[in-house]
Structure 1
Amino acid sequence: MATGGVTRWTGREIALLREALRMDGEEFAAKVGISHRQLKNWEGRGATISPRPSNQAALDTLHSTAPLAAQWRFAQMLTEHAAVGHDERTEELLRRDPRTVRHPVDGKVMALVEEGIYLSGAGNSSVWLNEFRIDVYPTTNLDYEGFVRATGHKPPQHWPTGGRCPSGLRDHPVVWVTWHDANAYAHWAGKALPTARQWEKAARGPKGRAYPWGEEPTAAKCNTAESGIGSTTPVARYQSGVSPYGVQDLCGNVWEWCSTPGTDGPDRYQLKGSAFSSPFERAAPALENAANSSMKDNDTGFRCISPT
């Protein structure tokens, strides 16, 4: 008999079971005895929703009576998802760092950036910012899939037909997203895109480090063009590049959209952090960059903030 059963169903496991059974939403909902709208709500809320006992029993039955091949697919997807969603380092961070919490909508771990002055920009001007929380890691393809499933938002162009993120890229930052896409995700999650100053403070700390890890321009601590990788990497790969607030992957990998308008023309927004496609010299958090809000590329993503 195939393994892969669950002791408690949440929207996250339900979405995986539907995929394993290769059913569309309406067919799956009918099998469970619920409306298609209810199913979309479950899948959209992910691990934050747990159906009532009668629905849990229906899901148990649907799983146990599924064809053996579907049960094996489900077991494999559960294993893959656990590897991405429950990274041991992330769980350790939640246990040991009282500044971190898991967001109730998208499930992302967020770090606290305390209120106060920080040294901002190339001139290290003293700037006061109120307290906020910021995602420890950029928004991944798996994170973005939850948003797409909940809202029907158009998936990125590099995803295969069907609106599911590529299994090999689940823990990579989502790319091919415009500023409007990033802002829509933030709104759905009850968050916001960071201002350029919030992003910079999360990266540099209150004392204005040149880089998240310190003053040394160490290209090996992030995924920029010098790495020779030529593509995105898992968001937890460069642990030594962590900022004073415990925020990861701020330099390199992908440019990150901010909510601050650009200063070089209308309908443009600032980007921070550089990317795998750019030289390390562009990665310093104090530097400015901007792009049109409709721009999307294979090296541009985002992360979110929320008030405390």
Structure 2
Amino acid sequence: MNGLVERFLAPEVWQTSREPLTGEERAELREAIAALRHPMVIEELCAMAATHPRADVRLTVLEGVEPFMATLPAAREFLVWLLGDDEDFVVFSAAKIAGRHRIGEAYEELLHITGPAEAGLLRSTKPVGIGAAVVAKAMDAILGAEDRAARLQTEREHTRTGQLPDGCALDEHWDYDPPNLPRPVPEDMVLVPGGDFVVGIGIDDVVHPLYDVDDAVPRQSRHLPDFLIDRYPVTNADYDAWAGGPLAAEHALCHPDEPEDKDHRRGIVGDARFGPDHPATGVDWYDAYAYLAHIGKRLPTELEWEKAARGENGSLYPWGDDFDPEALRWFGASFGQARSLEHWRDTLSTFDENTPPVTTVPVGTHPKNVSSYGVADLVGNCWEWTDTNFFTRDRMKPMISGRPRTEWATAEETSVVIRGGAWTSMREQVTAYFRGKDLFTDRHNEIGFRGVIR
């Protein structure tokens, strides 16, 4: 973050000065924010501004990040936060921006303010002034309707399906083509083109009943813009070079909620079975976040991961719909066929420094394990961290700093979606639709990660 932005947001400035920002200062701050561009810096800025005590600063930062609404979830999250602001002029501006960009995430928050169109048409909702009018206009724009009467059917459809119309700028439903992806595509990344794709499964697709997959039902169509994703998971060699260097120790772009002075080095670095060209396991969610932030990437959302793995048509595995035990590293390759869930658990309990002699394998070992886009190793070998909360399906928002572990260890907010299965996983777990979960502070030798740019 540059010095000009820090000067406006620094506590010593707003604590000593109560004068409102001048028009020139606001313009200067907006221009400085627009020049930042790095996703992690924008995310940090939005987090700082959300709790800033000066309403004019909160509003100016929102105006400054408006150009990033299409591409950065943090900017949209900040906007939604400000829809609950105490100052009406902040809420009015946030609502107008939400309508201008058709920010789907804002819909539910705006609905709390005005109520559904049906209520307003059939009975008095006692609007009290400007706020109701501004919010109503914003909701019309988000839903692509001319007025409250025109959006009635759209709102009814949303109540029935939970989906908003095409064109709404939701993480998972937004047809804007981001203009700032690196061109040409970096050699170690793959372009996943924007468009509709299939997520989830139908009840008739459930062919392996040992595991509960109800959370993957129903099969449905979603939309994502272009994004880039790493061709392979991050390797131990690349991760260890960063974790043992000065950037990891400085924590410049680490998640603001991670434990103070966190040691990012892998705890299993001494286990020779996890070689340099194997996926980087033994890292928690904070570790993965920090590594990717320092190279200008982030963790994929669950939907980004699923699209990269299943293609547009929703195949059950990256290579198609038929399981191939030779196409990936899984429990069957590590230990042999599991006869039952109990046998699987008993076998895994034999793990020690010698058993099994082979755990993960080098990335790219299985050439068939490639999706239609060219993304490799998406199932088997190691689970992969995402940036999606398992229960809410929203982006992860860790808030454990300063809280005792007993308070957050079992909280829903700390359960993150992991995808793809690992060298310890049964056949049921290595499909491209299976949703695993884990505590985001755990460091397992079964969970790795890869990055995206969007």
- Shorter-chain TM-score bucket reads 0.5 to 0.7
Matched, 1:222 2:328: yes
* Structure 2 counterpart of 1:268: 415
Structure 2 CA distance for aligned equivalents of residues 216 and 173 of structure 1 = 25
DSSP 3-state at the match of 1:281: helix
Structure 1 residues 168, 250: closer, same or farther in 2, change over 3 A? closer
Q: Are positions 1:113 and 2:192 aligned together?
A: yes
Q: Pick one of 241, 253, 269 that aligns with 1:159.
A: 269
Contact 1:180-1:293 at 8 Å conserved across structures: yes
What residue identity is the alignment partner of 1:305? V
2:453 aligned residue:
306
Q: Is the 8 A contact 2:334 2:424 kept in 1?
A: no
Describe the superposition over 1:177-231 as per-residue Cα deviations: whole angstroms up to 9, x where unpaired. Answer: 1111111111111101000010000000011111100011112111000112641
Structure 1 residues 282 and 167 mapped into 2: Cα distance closer, same or farther (>3 Å)?
Answer: closer
Aligned to 1:246: 374
Q: Contact 1:99–1:112 (CA<8 Å) still a contact in 2? A: no
**TM-score under structure 2 length normalisation:** 0.42
TM-score, normalised to structure 1's length?
0.62
Tell me whether 1:132 sits opposite 2:279 in the alignment. Answer: no
Alignment of 1:1-308 (within 5 A): 100-102=185-187, 109-122=188-201, 123-148=218-243, 149=245, 150-152=247-249, 153-160=263-270, 169-228=275-334, 230=356, 231-263=359-391, 265-307=412-454
After TM superposition, give the deviation of residue 166 of structure 1 in Å: 5.9
The number of residue pairs the alignment matches comes to 200
Deviation at 1:287, TM superposition (A): 1.4
Q: 1:168 to 1:212 in 2, by over 3 A?
A: closer
Q: The residue matched to 1:151 in structure 2 has which SS?
A: helix
CA distance in 1, matches of 2:330, 2:228: 26
The whole-number CA distance in structure 1 between the counterparts of 2:310 and 2:272 is: 33
Shift of 1:100: 4.7
Mark the CA change 1:263 to 1:210 in structure 2 (over 3 Å): closer, same or farther.
same
What is the alpha-carbon distance in structure 2 between the residues aligned to residue 221 and residue 279 of structure 1?
14
Stretches of structure 1 that go unaligned for 5 or more consecutive residues are 1-97, 103-108
Which residue identity is paired with 2:377? D
Q: Distance in 1 between matches of 2:222 and 2:361?
A: 33
Q: Distance in 2 between matches of 1:301 and 1:168?
A: 12
Name the amino acid aligned to 1:139: V
* Superposed CA RMSD: 2.0
**In 1: Cα distance, 2:311 partner to 2:363 partner:** 20
Structure-2 change in CA distance of 1:101 and 1:218 (3 Å): same
The amino acid across from 2:296 in the alignment is: G
Structure ranking higher in strand proportion: 1
Relative contact order, higher structure (CA 8 A, sep 6+): 1
- Distance (whole Å) between structure 1 residues aligned to residue 438 and residue 274 of structure 2: 28
| Partner SS for 2:312 | coil
Q: Report the CA distance between 1:99 and its aligned residue.
A: 7.8
Tell me the alpha carbon deviations over residues 104-133 of structure 1, each in whole angstroms, 9 at most, x when there is no partner.
xxxxx0000000000001232100011100
In the alignment, the residues of structure 2 paired with residue 254 and residue 168 of structure 1 have an alpha-carbon distance, to the nearest angstrom, of: 11
Q: Deviations over 1:239-286 (max 9, x none)?
A: 111100101111100010000011182211100000001112101111
Distance 1:99 1:204, change over 3 A: farther
**In 1, Cα distance between equivalents of 2:334 and 2:324:** 15
CA contact (8 A) 2:390 2:415 kept: yes
Give the letter aligned to residue 373 of structure 2: Y
Q: Please list every run of 5 or more consecutive structure 2 residues that lacks an aligned counterpart in the other structure.
A: 1-182, 202-217, 250-262, 336-355, 393-411
The answer to whether the Cα contact below 8 Å between 1:118 and 1:127 also exists between their aligned partners in 2 is yes
Find the aligned partners of 1:228 and 1:262 in 2 and give their Cα distance: 28
- Identity in percent: 33
Which has the higher Rg, Structure 1 or Structure 2? 2
The aligned amino acid for 1:156 is R
SS in 2 for 1:240: coil
Does the 8 Å contact 1:99/1:111 carry over to 2? no
SS in 2 for 1:170: coil
Alpha-carbon contact 1:209-1:215 (below 8 Å) kept: yes
